[in-house]
Structure 1
Protein backbone atom coordinates (compact mmCIF):
# COMPACT_ATOMS: atom_id res chain seq x y z
CA UNK A 1 0.00 0.00 0.00
CA UNK A 2 1.56 3.26 -1.16
CA UNK A 3 1.68 6.26 1.17
CA UNK A 4 2.71 9.48 -0.54
CA UNK A 5 4.32 12.35 1.37
CA UNK A 6 3.52 15.79 -0.06
CA UNK A 7 3.54 19.45 0.91
CA UNK A 8 1.19 22.37 0.33
CA UNK A 9 1.92 26.07 0.79
CA UNK A 10 -0.86 27.91 2.59
CA UNK A 11 -1.83 31.48 1.81
CA UNK A 12 -0.41 32.60 5.18
CA UNK A 13 3.05 31.39 4.14
CA UNK A 14 3.05 28.21 6.23
CA UNK A 15 4.02 24.92 4.62
CA UNK A 16 2.05 21.84 5.66
CA UNK A 17 3.45 18.38 5.04
CA UNK A 18 0.93 15.56 4.72
CA UNK A 19 0.65 11.85 4.04
CA UNK A 20 -1.92 10.47 1.63
CA UNK A 21 -3.20 7.03 0.73
CA UNK A 22 -5.61 6.35 -2.12
CA UNK A 23 -9.08 4.99 -1.47
CA UNK A 24 -12.79 5.67 -1.71
CA UNK A 25 -14.44 9.03 -1.16
CA UNK A 26 -15.14 10.98 0.94
CA UNK A 27 -11.70 10.89 2.53
CA UNK A 28 -10.73 10.54 6.15
CA UNK A 29 -8.82 13.64 7.26
CA UNK A 30 -6.66 12.71 10.26
CA UNK A 31 -5.57 15.34 12.79
CA UNK A 32 -2.82 14.31 15.20
CA UNK A 33 -2.42 15.44 18.79
CA UNK A 34 0.28 17.18 20.80
CA UNK A 35 3.88 15.92 20.76
CA UNK A 36 3.01 14.04 17.57
CA UNK A 37 2.89 14.28 13.78
CA UNK A 38 1.21 12.63 10.80
CA UNK A 39 3.69 9.76 11.02
CA UNK A 40 1.88 8.42 14.06
CA UNK A 41 -1.17 7.65 11.91
CA UNK A 42 0.76 5.07 9.89
CA UNK A 43 -0.90 2.03 11.55
CA UNK A 44 -4.21 3.35 10.17
CA UNK A 45 -2.73 4.51 6.86
CA UNK A 46 -1.34 1.02 6.29
CA UNK A 47 -4.44 -0.88 7.43
CA UNK A 48 -6.21 -2.62 4.56
CA UNK A 49 -9.44 -2.77 6.56
CA UNK A 50 -9.94 0.95 5.95
CA UNK A 51 -10.97 1.48 2.33
CA UNK A 52 -11.32 5.27 2.47
CA UNK A 53 -8.81 7.63 0.97
CA UNK A 54 -6.77 8.89 3.95
CA UNK A 55 -5.03 12.23 4.37
CA UNK A 56 -2.97 12.98 7.48
CA UNK A 57 -1.41 16.41 7.87
CA UNK A 58 1.39 17.74 10.06
CA UNK A 59 -0.26 20.75 11.67
CA UNK A 60 1.54 24.10 11.87
CA UNK A 61 4.58 23.75 14.14
CA UNK A 62 4.62 19.93 14.10
CA UNK A 63 6.58 17.33 12.18
CA UNK A 64 7.90 18.62 8.87
CA UNK A 65 5.50 21.58 8.69
CA UNK A 66 6.67 25.15 9.22
CA UNK A 67 6.01 27.51 12.12
CA UNK A 68 6.58 31.03 10.85
CA UNK A 69 3.59 32.56 12.63
CA UNK A 70 2.80 31.48 16.22
CA UNK A 71 -0.74 30.21 16.78
CA UNK A 72 -2.93 32.08 19.24
CA UNK A 73 -5.80 29.62 19.60
CA UNK A 74 -7.45 26.58 18.02
CA UNK A 75 -9.09 28.77 15.39
CA UNK A 76 -5.66 29.33 13.83
CA UNK A 77 -5.30 25.59 13.26
CA UNK A 78 -8.88 25.49 11.97
CA UNK A 79 -8.14 28.25 9.45
CA UNK A 80 -5.02 26.38 8.32
CA UNK A 81 -7.13 23.27 7.73
CA UNK A 82 -9.67 25.24 5.71
CA UNK A 83 -6.95 26.57 3.41
CA UNK A 84 -5.46 23.06 3.23
CA UNK A 85 -8.78 21.49 2.23
CA UNK A 86 -9.42 24.26 -0.28
CA UNK A 87 -6.12 23.70 -2.03
CA UNK A 88 -6.64 19.92 -2.14
CA UNK A 89 -10.24 20.30 -3.32
CA UNK A 90 -11.62 18.56 -0.22
CA UNK A 91 -15.15 19.89 0.05
CA UNK A 92 -16.53 16.87 1.91
CA UNK A 93 -14.44 15.10 4.56
CA UNK A 94 -14.81 12.78 7.50
CA UNK A 95 -12.46 14.16 10.11
CA UNK A 96 -10.72 12.21 12.87
CA UNK A 97 -9.12 14.17 15.71
CA UNK A 98 -6.88 12.40 18.20
CA UNK A 99 -6.07 13.91 21.61
CA UNK A 100 -5.39 17.64 21.17
CA UNK A 101 -6.31 17.12 17.53
CA UNK A 102 -9.83 16.45 18.74
CA UNK A 103 -10.05 20.07 19.80
CA UNK A 104 -8.83 21.19 16.37
CA UNK A 105 -11.32 18.84 14.67
CA UNK A 106 -14.24 20.17 16.76
CA UNK A 107 -13.28 23.77 16.03
CA UNK A 108 -13.03 23.01 12.30
CA UNK A 109 -16.41 21.24 12.28
CA UNK A 110 -17.93 24.27 14.03
CA UNK A 111 -16.24 26.84 11.79
CA UNK A 112 -16.94 25.01 8.51
CA UNK A 113 -19.95 22.72 9.13
CA UNK A 114 -20.74 22.33 5.43
CA UNK A 115 -17.34 20.75 4.86
CA UNK A 116 -17.54 17.97 7.48
CA UNK A 117 -19.70 14.90 6.85
CA UNK A 118 -18.74 13.04 10.02
CA UNK A 119 -16.61 13.79 13.09
CA UNK A 120 -14.67 11.17 15.06
CA UNK A 121 -13.11 12.20 18.38
CA UNK A 122 -10.44 9.72 19.44
CA UNK A 123 -9.08 10.06 22.99
CA UNK A 124 -9.97 13.72 22.56
CA UNK A 125 -9.51 16.68 24.83
CA UNK A 126 -12.73 18.05 26.25
CA UNK A 127 -15.10 20.49 24.59
CA UNK A 128 -13.92 22.65 27.51
CA UNK A 129 -10.23 22.30 26.72
CA UNK A 130 -7.29 20.62 28.44
CA UNK A 131 -6.34 22.31 31.68
CA UNK A 132 -2.71 23.28 32.30
CA UNK A 133 -2.24 22.85 36.04
CA UNK A 134 0.57 23.29 38.54
CA UNK A 135 1.86 20.72 41.05
CA UNK A 136 -1.04 21.54 43.40
CA UNK A 137 -3.62 20.95 40.68
CA UNK A 138 -4.48 24.64 40.30
CA UNK A 139 -5.26 25.80 36.79
CA UNK A 140 -2.68 28.16 35.33
CA UNK A 141 -4.16 31.42 34.07
CA UNK A 142 -1.74 32.80 31.48
CA UNK A 143 0.79 31.69 28.88
CA UNK A 144 3.52 33.23 31.05
CA UNK A 145 2.50 31.04 33.99
CA UNK A 146 2.50 27.99 31.73
CA UNK A 147 5.99 28.78 30.43
CA UNK A 148 7.38 29.24 33.94
CA UNK A 149 5.65 26.34 35.70
CA UNK A 150 8.41 24.00 36.95
CA UNK A 151 6.60 20.80 35.99
CA UNK A 152 5.71 21.87 32.47
CA UNK A 153 9.07 23.62 31.98
CA UNK A 154 10.82 20.23 32.19
CA UNK A 155 9.04 19.14 29.02
CA UNK A 156 9.64 22.44 27.25
CA UNK A 157 13.33 22.27 28.14
CA UNK A 158 13.61 18.64 27.01
CA UNK A 159 12.13 19.72 23.70
CA UNK A 160 14.64 22.55 23.32
CA UNK A 161 17.56 20.36 24.33
CA UNK A 162 16.41 17.44 22.15
CA UNK A 163 16.50 15.18 25.21
CA UNK A 164 15.56 11.79 23.78
CA UNK A 165 15.82 9.96 27.12
CA UNK A 166 13.29 12.31 28.76
CA UNK A 167 10.66 11.74 26.08
CA UNK A 168 11.27 8.01 25.98
CA UNK A 169 10.60 7.73 29.73
CA UNK A 170 7.54 10.00 29.54
CA UNK A 171 6.05 8.08 26.63
CA UNK A 172 6.66 4.73 28.31
CA UNK A 173 4.63 5.90 31.29
CA UNK A 174 1.85 7.89 29.64
CA UNK A 175 1.40 6.45 26.16
CA UNK A 176 2.93 3.00 25.95
CA UNK A 177 1.69 1.91 29.36
CA UNK A 178 -0.33 -0.96 27.87
CA UNK A 179 1.59 -2.12 24.81
CA UNK A 180 5.08 -1.37 23.60
CA UNK A 181 5.11 -0.53 19.88
CA UNK A 182 7.84 -1.77 17.59
CA UNK A 183 11.13 0.10 17.51
CA UNK A 184 10.30 2.10 14.37
CA UNK A 185 7.09 3.52 15.84
CA UNK A 186 8.82 4.34 19.13
CA UNK A 187 11.60 6.14 17.31
CA UNK A 188 9.15 8.12 15.17
CA UNK A 189 7.14 9.17 18.20
CA UNK A 190 10.21 10.39 20.08
CA UNK A 191 11.34 12.30 16.99
CA UNK A 192 7.88 13.90 16.74
CA UNK A 193 8.18 15.14 20.33
CA UNK A 194 11.52 16.73 19.61
CA UNK A 195 10.42 18.29 16.28
CA UNK A 196 7.50 20.17 17.81
CA UNK A 197 8.04 23.95 17.66
CA UNK A 198 4.95 25.25 19.44
CA UNK A 199 4.67 23.53 22.82
CA UNK A 200 3.98 26.58 24.99
CA UNK A 201 1.62 28.15 22.46
CA UNK A 202 -0.38 24.93 22.13
CA UNK A 203 -0.55 24.34 25.89
CA UNK A 204 -1.97 27.85 26.27
CA UNK A 205 -4.46 27.36 23.42
CA UNK A 206 -5.69 24.05 24.84
CA UNK A 207 -5.96 25.58 28.32
CA UNK A 208 -8.26 28.34 27.00
CA UNK A 209 -10.17 26.25 24.44
CA UNK A 210 -13.88 26.05 25.24
CA UNK A 211 -16.57 25.59 22.58
CA UNK A 212 -19.24 24.64 25.13
CA UNK A 213 -21.78 27.01 26.65
CA UNK A 214 -20.29 26.62 30.15
CA UNK A 215 -17.29 28.17 31.85
CA UNK A 216 -14.28 25.88 32.22
CA UNK A 217 -13.00 27.89 35.17
CA UNK A 218 -10.79 30.04 32.98
CA UNK A 219 -12.80 31.02 29.90
CA UNK A 220 -16.50 31.28 29.16
CA UNK A 221 -17.73 28.93 26.48
CA UNK A 222 -18.02 30.31 22.96
CA UNK A 223 -21.02 28.10 22.17
CA UNK A 224 -19.35 27.20 18.86
CA UNK A 225 -20.34 23.57 19.47
CA UNK A 226 -23.89 24.50 18.48
CA UNK A 227 -22.73 24.97 14.87
CA UNK A 228 -21.53 21.37 14.51
CA UNK A 229 -24.13 19.66 12.34
CA UNK A 230 -22.58 16.29 11.45
CA UNK A 231 -22.87 12.91 13.22
CA UNK A 232 -20.27 12.48 15.97
CA UNK A 233 -18.46 9.41 17.27
CA UNK A 234 -16.53 9.59 20.55
CA UNK A 235 -13.96 6.83 21.21
CA UNK A 236 -12.19 6.60 24.56
CA UNK A 237 -9.80 4.02 25.99
CA UNK A 238 -10.62 3.01 29.54
CA UNK A 239 -6.91 2.96 30.48
CA UNK A 240 -6.18 6.43 29.11
CA UNK A 241 -3.84 8.36 31.44
CA UNK A 242 -3.92 11.61 29.44
CA UNK A 243 -7.52 12.37 28.47
CA UNK A 244 -9.66 11.35 31.40
CA UNK A 245 -13.13 9.92 31.73
CA UNK A 246 -14.22 13.29 33.13
CA UNK A 247 -13.08 15.06 29.94
CA UNK A 248 -14.89 12.50 27.82
CA UNK A 249 -17.98 12.94 29.97
CA UNK A 250 -17.84 16.68 29.36
CA UNK A 251 -17.87 16.08 25.61
CA UNK A 252 -20.96 13.88 25.88
CA UNK A 253 -22.67 16.27 28.29
CA UNK A 254 -22.00 19.35 26.18
CA UNK A 255 -23.23 17.78 22.95
CA UNK A 256 -26.35 16.53 24.74
CA UNK A 257 -27.02 19.97 26.21
CA UNK A 258 -27.09 21.33 22.66
CA UNK A 259 -29.54 18.65 21.56
CA UNK A 260 -26.96 16.71 19.55
CA UNK A 261 -26.76 12.92 19.75
CA UNK A 262 -23.34 11.30 19.95
CA UNK A 263 -22.31 7.69 19.48
CA UNK A 264 -19.93 6.64 22.28
CA UNK A 265 -17.59 3.63 22.23
CA UNK A 266 -15.01 2.52 24.79
CA UNK A 267 -11.98 0.43 23.96
CA UNK A 268 -9.69 -1.64 26.19
CA UNK A 269 -6.88 0.77 25.42
CA UNK A 270 -4.86 3.67 26.72
CA UNK A 271 -4.28 7.00 25.00
CA UNK A 272 -2.92 5.37 21.83
CA UNK A 273 -5.55 2.92 20.50
CA UNK A 274 -3.64 2.68 17.21
CA UNK A 275 -1.23 0.42 19.10
CA UNK A 276 -3.36 -0.88 21.97
CA UNK A 277 -6.44 -1.94 19.99
CA UNK A 278 -6.07 -1.23 16.29
CA UNK A 279 -8.62 -3.93 15.42
CA UNK A 280 -11.25 -2.41 17.71
CA UNK A 281 -10.49 1.07 16.45
CA UNK A 282 -10.82 0.09 12.78
CA UNK A 283 -14.06 -1.79 13.47
CA UNK A 284 -15.51 1.22 15.31
CA UNK A 285 -14.52 3.65 12.55
CA UNK A 286 -15.85 1.40 9.77
CA UNK A 287 -19.19 0.89 11.55
CA UNK A 288 -19.58 4.65 11.98
CA UNK A 289 -18.62 5.34 8.35
CA UNK A 290 -21.21 2.84 7.18
CA UNK A 291 -24.05 4.62 8.99
CA UNK A 292 -26.27 6.75 6.74
Structure 2
Protein backbone atom coordinates (compact mmCIF):
# COMPACT_ATOMS: atom_id res chain seq x y z
CA UNK A 1 0.00 0.00 0.00
CA UNK A 2 1.36 3.39 -0.92
CA UNK A 3 1.43 5.98 1.85
CA UNK A 4 2.00 9.71 1.60
CA UNK A 5 3.62 12.02 4.13
CA UNK A 6 0.39 13.26 5.68
CA UNK A 7 0.37 12.50 9.38
CA UNK A 8 -2.37 12.12 11.94
CA UNK A 9 -1.86 14.36 14.94
CA UNK A 10 -3.02 12.92 18.24
CA UNK A 11 -3.30 15.48 21.01
CA UNK A 12 -3.27 13.58 24.28
CA UNK A 13 -4.42 15.17 27.55
CA UNK A 14 -1.67 15.82 30.09
CA UNK A 15 2.08 16.17 29.67
CA UNK A 16 4.45 13.22 29.60
CA UNK A 17 5.27 13.86 33.27
CA UNK A 18 1.66 14.12 34.42
CA UNK A 19 -0.28 11.21 35.94
CA UNK A 20 -2.04 9.27 33.18
CA UNK A 21 -5.18 8.89 35.33
CA UNK A 22 -6.75 11.65 33.22
CA UNK A 23 -7.12 9.15 30.37
CA UNK A 24 -10.01 7.50 32.19
CA UNK A 25 -12.11 10.67 31.98
CA UNK A 26 -10.77 12.50 28.92
CA UNK A 27 -10.54 11.52 25.27
CA UNK A 28 -7.65 12.34 22.93
CA UNK A 29 -8.35 15.07 20.40
CA UNK A 30 -7.55 13.76 16.93
CA UNK A 31 -6.77 16.03 13.98
CA UNK A 32 -5.07 15.65 10.61
CA UNK A 33 -1.95 17.57 9.70
CA UNK A 34 1.10 17.24 7.48
CA UNK A 35 4.24 16.51 9.51
CA UNK A 36 7.39 15.38 7.70
CA UNK A 37 9.22 14.87 11.01
CA UNK A 38 6.69 12.49 12.55
CA UNK A 39 8.73 9.32 12.04
CA UNK A 40 9.89 7.73 15.27
CA UNK A 41 13.18 6.13 16.25
CA UNK A 42 13.52 3.43 18.90
CA UNK A 43 16.22 3.16 21.55
CA UNK A 44 17.13 0.15 23.70
CA UNK A 45 16.06 0.37 27.31
CA UNK A 46 13.54 -0.76 29.89
CA UNK A 47 9.82 -0.88 29.20
CA UNK A 48 7.83 2.32 29.86
CA UNK A 49 6.11 2.81 33.19
CA UNK A 50 2.50 1.84 33.82
CA UNK A 51 -0.09 3.11 33.05
CA UNK A 52 0.77 2.86 29.36
CA UNK A 53 -1.26 4.09 26.41
CA UNK A 54 0.03 3.13 22.99
CA UNK A 55 1.20 0.44 20.61
CA UNK A 56 3.40 -2.58 21.38
CA UNK A 57 4.92 -4.63 18.54
CA UNK A 58 7.27 -7.57 18.31
CA UNK A 59 10.14 -6.58 16.02
CA UNK A 60 13.05 -8.53 14.54
CA UNK A 61 16.29 -7.35 12.95
CA UNK A 62 18.94 -9.41 11.17
CA UNK A 63 22.31 -8.24 12.50
CA UNK A 64 25.50 -8.90 10.55
CA UNK A 65 28.07 -10.62 12.73
CA UNK A 66 31.09 -12.83 12.06
CA UNK A 67 30.38 -14.79 15.25
CA UNK A 68 27.69 -16.85 13.50
CA UNK A 69 28.25 -19.39 10.69
CA UNK A 70 25.93 -17.67 8.23
CA UNK A 71 27.09 -14.21 9.26
CA UNK A 72 23.64 -13.08 10.42
CA UNK A 73 21.67 -13.38 13.65
CA UNK A 74 17.99 -12.60 14.25
CA UNK A 75 17.55 -10.18 17.16
CA UNK A 76 14.01 -9.92 18.57
CA UNK A 77 12.71 -6.94 20.53
CA UNK A 78 9.50 -5.47 21.88
CA UNK A 79 8.81 -1.97 20.57
CA UNK A 80 6.73 0.48 22.63
CA UNK A 81 5.17 3.61 21.15
CA UNK A 82 3.74 5.64 24.03
CA UNK A 83 1.06 8.03 22.73
CA UNK A 84 1.41 10.18 25.85
CA UNK A 85 4.89 11.25 24.78
CA UNK A 86 5.26 14.08 22.30
CA UNK A 87 8.83 13.31 21.25
CA UNK A 88 9.77 10.97 18.42
CA UNK A 89 11.61 8.40 20.53
CA UNK A 90 10.18 5.00 21.43
CA UNK A 91 11.60 2.17 23.50
CA UNK A 92 12.89 -1.24 22.42
CA UNK A 93 13.31 -4.03 24.97
CA UNK A 94 15.63 -6.85 23.78
CA UNK A 95 14.38 -10.44 24.14
CA UNK A 96 17.76 -12.04 24.67
CA UNK A 97 17.95 -15.64 23.46
CA UNK A 98 14.50 -15.59 21.83
CA UNK A 99 14.61 -17.85 18.77
CA UNK A 100 11.08 -18.88 17.81
CA UNK A 101 10.56 -22.10 15.90
CA UNK A 102 7.21 -21.09 14.41
CA UNK A 103 6.49 -17.34 14.10
CA UNK A 104 2.84 -18.14 13.41
CA UNK A 105 2.52 -19.42 17.01
CA UNK A 106 3.81 -16.22 18.58
CA UNK A 107 1.43 -14.21 20.74
CA UNK A 108 1.42 -11.12 22.94
CA UNK A 109 -0.86 -10.53 25.90
CA UNK A 110 -1.17 -7.66 28.34
CA UNK A 111 -1.38 -8.43 32.05
CA UNK A 112 -2.44 -4.87 32.86
CA UNK A 113 -0.22 -3.32 35.55
CA UNK A 114 1.95 -6.47 35.68
CA UNK A 115 3.37 -6.04 32.20
CA UNK A 116 3.49 -7.75 28.82
CA UNK A 117 4.00 -11.45 28.10
CA UNK A 118 5.41 -12.35 24.70
CA UNK A 119 6.28 -15.76 23.40
CA UNK A 120 5.60 -18.90 21.43
CA UNK A 121 3.18 -21.58 22.55
CA UNK A 122 2.47 -24.91 20.88
CA UNK A 123 3.97 -28.29 20.15
CA UNK A 124 6.82 -26.82 18.08
CA UNK A 125 7.99 -24.28 20.63
CA UNK A 126 7.25 -23.30 24.21
CA UNK A 127 9.12 -20.21 25.31
CA UNK A 128 7.85 -17.03 26.88
CA UNK A 129 9.12 -13.73 28.29
CA UNK A 130 7.61 -11.43 30.86
CA UNK A 131 8.37 -7.73 30.48
CA UNK A 132 7.16 -5.86 33.60
CA UNK A 133 6.49 -2.14 33.16
CA UNK A 134 9.63 -0.15 33.89
CA UNK A 135 11.85 -3.24 33.63
CA UNK A 136 13.65 -5.42 31.08
CA UNK A 137 12.57 -8.83 29.76
CA UNK A 138 13.01 -12.00 31.75
CA UNK A 139 12.46 -15.50 30.42
CA UNK A 140 9.85 -17.64 32.16
CA UNK A 141 9.73 -21.43 32.18
CA UNK A 142 6.20 -21.93 30.88
CA UNK A 143 3.81 -19.77 28.86
CA UNK A 144 0.81 -18.61 30.85
CA UNK A 145 -2.70 -19.90 30.19
CA UNK A 146 -3.56 -16.47 28.79
CA UNK A 147 -0.76 -16.68 26.20
CA UNK A 148 -1.72 -20.24 25.22
CA UNK A 149 -5.35 -19.15 24.81
CA UNK A 150 -4.26 -16.19 22.67
CA UNK A 151 -2.38 -18.55 20.36
CA UNK A 152 -5.30 -20.94 19.97
CA UNK A 153 -8.22 -18.48 19.89
CA UNK A 154 -6.81 -15.18 18.54
CA UNK A 155 -9.78 -13.41 20.18
CA UNK A 156 -11.35 -10.45 18.37
CA UNK A 157 -13.51 -7.79 20.01
CA UNK A 158 -14.87 -6.61 16.66
CA UNK A 159 -16.96 -8.97 14.53
CA UNK A 160 -14.67 -10.31 11.78
CA UNK A 161 -15.14 -13.16 9.34
CA UNK A 162 -13.37 -14.48 6.25
CA UNK A 163 -14.88 -16.37 3.37
CA UNK A 164 -12.26 -17.21 0.80
CA UNK A 165 -10.36 -13.96 0.25
CA UNK A 166 -13.17 -11.67 1.41
CA UNK A 167 -12.89 -10.12 4.88
CA UNK A 168 -16.08 -8.85 6.54
CA UNK A 169 -16.00 -6.43 9.50
CA UNK A 170 -18.97 -5.22 11.55
CA UNK A 171 -19.19 -2.72 14.40
CA UNK A 172 -21.90 -0.47 15.84
CA UNK A 173 -24.42 -1.28 13.14
CA UNK A 174 -22.04 -0.59 10.23
CA UNK A 175 -20.19 -3.15 8.14
CA UNK A 176 -17.53 -3.30 5.44
CA UNK A 177 -16.05 -5.96 3.19
CA UNK A 178 -12.47 -6.10 1.95
CA UNK A 179 -10.96 -8.26 -0.78
CA UNK A 180 -7.53 -9.07 0.64
CA UNK A 181 -6.22 -11.06 -2.31
CA UNK A 182 -6.73 -10.86 -6.07
CA UNK A 183 -7.97 -12.74 -7.99
CA UNK A 184 -10.37 -13.34 -5.17
CA UNK A 185 -11.68 -16.73 -4.12
CA UNK A 186 -15.14 -16.59 -2.58
CA UNK A 187 -15.16 -19.71 -0.42
CA UNK A 188 -12.92 -21.95 1.64
CA UNK A 189 -10.87 -21.44 4.79
CA UNK A 190 -8.01 -19.43 3.29
CA UNK A 191 -7.11 -17.10 6.17
CA UNK A 192 -7.35 -16.61 9.93
CA UNK A 193 -8.19 -13.16 11.29
CA UNK A 194 -8.05 -11.11 14.48
CA UNK A 195 -9.64 -7.65 14.77
CA UNK A 196 -9.00 -5.56 17.90
CA UNK A 197 -10.26 -2.12 18.93
CA UNK A 198 -8.66 -1.34 22.30
CA UNK A 199 -7.98 2.38 21.93
CA UNK A 200 -7.10 4.99 19.32
CA UNK A 201 -5.97 2.45 16.70
CA UNK A 202 -7.88 -0.42 15.08
CA UNK A 203 -5.63 -3.44 14.49
CA UNK A 204 -6.56 -6.14 11.96
CA UNK A 205 -4.24 -9.09 11.31
CA UNK A 206 -4.71 -11.95 8.84
CA UNK A 207 -2.62 -15.10 8.46
CA UNK A 208 -2.67 -17.66 5.63
CA UNK A 209 -4.52 -20.68 7.04
CA UNK A 210 -2.36 -23.23 5.17
CA UNK A 211 0.96 -21.71 6.30
CA UNK A 212 0.64 -21.85 10.06
CA UNK A 213 4.25 -20.95 10.83
CA UNK A 214 4.46 -17.95 8.48
CA UNK A 215 3.92 -14.33 9.43
CA UNK A 216 0.75 -12.60 8.27
CA UNK A 217 -0.25 -9.05 7.40
CA UNK A 218 -1.48 -6.31 9.74
CA UNK A 219 -3.50 -3.17 8.94
CA UNK A 220 -3.53 -0.22 11.36
CA UNK A 221 -6.29 2.36 11.01
CA UNK A 222 -7.35 5.38 13.03
CA UNK A 223 -10.33 4.23 15.08
CA UNK A 224 -12.03 7.64 15.07
CA UNK A 225 -12.03 8.11 11.28
CA UNK A 226 -11.37 4.72 9.68
CA UNK A 227 -8.34 6.05 7.81
CA UNK A 228 -5.86 3.27 7.05
CA UNK A 229 -2.46 4.50 8.25
CA UNK A 230 -0.17 1.64 7.25
CA UNK A 231 -0.09 -2.10 6.59
CA UNK A 232 2.63 -4.67 6.25
CA UNK A 233 3.90 -8.18 6.92
CA UNK A 234 3.80 -8.83 10.65
CA UNK A 235 3.34 -11.44 13.38
CA UNK A 236 0.23 -11.68 15.54
CA UNK A 237 2.10 -9.84 18.29
CA UNK A 238 0.99 -6.23 17.74
CA UNK A 239 -1.44 -4.75 20.25
CA UNK A 240 -2.82 -1.39 21.34
CA UNK A 241 -2.49 -1.26 25.13
CA UNK A 242 -4.37 1.05 27.48
CA UNK A 243 -5.55 0.98 31.11
CA UNK A 244 -8.79 -0.94 31.51
CA UNK A 245 -10.59 2.15 32.82
CA UNK A 246 -9.79 4.24 29.74
CA UNK A 247 -12.88 5.15 27.76
CA UNK A 248 -12.83 3.91 24.19
CA UNK A 249 -14.75 5.86 21.57
CA UNK A 250 -16.87 4.45 18.79
CA UNK A 251 -15.06 2.61 16.02
CA UNK A 252 -15.23 3.84 12.44
CA UNK A 253 -14.45 0.91 10.16
CA UNK A 254 -11.95 1.36 7.31
CA UNK A 255 -13.40 2.12 3.90
CA UNK A 256 -13.33 -0.81 1.48
CA UNK A 257 -11.45 1.22 -1.15
CA UNK A 258 -8.63 2.17 1.23
CA UNK A 259 -7.87 -1.25 2.69
CA UNK A 260 -6.08 -2.87 -0.23
CA UNK A 261 -4.84 -6.43 -0.66
CA UNK A 262 -2.01 -8.18 1.14
CA UNK A 263 0.23 -7.53 -1.89
CA UNK A 264 -0.42 -3.78 -1.60
CA UNK A 265 1.18 -3.77 1.86
CA UNK A 266 4.80 -3.24 2.82
CA UNK A 267 7.11 -6.27 3.07
CA UNK A 268 7.48 -5.45 6.77
CA UNK A 269 5.22 -3.47 9.12
CA UNK A 270 7.61 -0.91 10.60
CA UNK A 271 5.74 1.21 13.14
CA UNK A 272 8.61 3.71 13.08
CA UNK A 273 6.97 4.99 9.90
CA UNK A 274 3.44 5.03 11.27
CA UNK A 275 2.21 8.53 10.27
CA UNK A 276 1.19 9.64 13.75
CA UNK A 277 2.37 12.95 15.15
CA UNK A 278 1.77 13.01 18.89
CA UNK A 279 1.05 16.30 20.63
CA UNK A 280 0.08 17.05 24.21
CA UNK A 281 -2.16 19.65 25.80
CA UNK A 282 -3.11 20.41 29.37
CA UNK A 283 -6.39 18.92 30.57
CA UNK A 284 -9.16 21.36 31.44
Question: TM-score category by the smaller chain?
Answer: under 0.3
TM-score normalised per structure 1: 0.24
TM-score normalised per structure 2: 0.24
Structure having the larger proportion of residues in strand: 2
Point out which structure has higher relative CO (alpha carbons under 8 A, 6+ apart).
2
Structure having the larger proportion of residues in helix: 1
